[in-house]
Amino acid sequence: MKAYELVLQRIEAEISEGRLRIGDRLPGERALAERFGVSRTSVREAIRVLEVMGAIRTAAGSGPDAGAIIVAEPRSPLTSALRLHLATSHLPIADIVQTRVLLESWAVREASGKAGAAELAGAERLLDAMDDPGLAPEQFHLLDAEFHVSLSALAGNVLVSTVMASLRDAIHGYVMAVVPELPDWETTAAGLRREHHAVLRAVRDGDGDAAASLVAAHIEDFYRTARL
């Protein structure tokens, strides 16, 4: 077994057994190297891996925020992995869109009637912000992504909403590359706004079936228009 794998295993075990919890600080790299009987380099490789996996956050310097701190950021590793495998062309964009439709329509159906006014407030605020007619496409899409993610979060499934967010992040670049090609951005945006409001209304009214089919059509329409 490689040295960094050993370190990885040991640290993961400590997290698993609850000896390390979120917010805790790992010992310094030099201390870990000594404890595990490996070089600091190997410890660093393990730390790197944990960092890109979203399990820890590192910062130099001293003080309470310095060092390697246990966090739970499941979104970033999913996003990176998706982006990377999208790049190898072994993961068709069509599959991503299909998965989005699947997850998101399930989420809004699940959320319908279940989500109270307080939970819906965040989504409404995003829609309000998107109503600004002077918004640049880039800003619009960032808000759009946030809206869809917050909608998915209403279903209360951490995994689903995390995957949703990662899917959005991973294809964001592709979407933005295609926006300038659109024949009429203003018209497209107006349609998107209208559809967003309709979806949110269905969720608020507790009409799960309507919300699901609306959101599915909304997503599929956009990708058809964008020819992705």
Residues forming contacts to DNA in the complex (CB under 7 A) are: 2-4, 26, 28-31, 33, 37-42, 44-45, 47, 58-68
Measured in whole angstroms, the distance separating CA 133 from the mean position of its chain's CA atoms is: 27
Query: Is residue 200 a contact partner of residue 144, using CB atoms and an 8 Å limit?
Result: no
Q: Please, what is the minimum distance in Å from the beta carbon of residue 33 to a copy of itself?
A: 14
- Residue of 77, 130, 80, 96 whose CA lies nearest to 228: 96
Q: Which partner from the list a copy of itself, DNA, none does 113 bind, CB cut-off 5 to 8 Å by kind? A: none
Q: Please, what is the minimum distance in Å from the beta carbon of residue 148 to a copy of itself?
A: 17
Query: Is residue 120 a contact partner of residue 203, using CB atoms and an 8 Å limit?
Result: yes
Query: Is residue 82 a contact partner of residue 162, using CB atoms and an 8 Å limit?
Result: no
Residue closer to DNA by CB (options 44, 172) is 44
Q: Please, what is the minimum distance in Å from the beta carbon of residue 5 to DNA?
A: 7
Q: Which partner from the list DNA, a copy of itself, none does 190 bind, CB cut-off 5 to 8 Å by kind? A: none
Q: CB-based contacts of 123: which residues, under 8 Å, 6+ apart?
A: 147, 150, 151, 154, 200
Footprint of a copy of itself (CB under 8 A): 4, 12, 15-16, 21-22, 41, 44-45, 48-50, 52-55, 70, 72, 74, 77-78, 80-81, 83-85, 87-88, 90-92, 95-96, 98-99, 102-103, 106, 157-160, 163
Residue closer to a copy of itself by CB (options 151, 192) is 151
Q: Please, what is the minimum distance in Å from the beta carbon of residue 41 to DNA?
A: 3
Q: Which partner from the list DNA, a copy of itself, none does 96 bind, CB cut-off 5 to 8 Å by kind? A: a copy of itself
H/E stretch holding 58 reads: strand 56-59
In terms of Cβ atoms closer than 10 Å to its own Cβ (0-12, 13-18, 19+), residue 36 is middle
Measured in whole angstroms, the distance separating CA 62 from the mean position of its chain's CA atoms is: 30
Amino acid at residue number 7:
V
Q: Which partner from the list DNA, a copy of itself, none does 106 bind, CB cut-off 5 to 8 Å by kind? A: a copy of itself
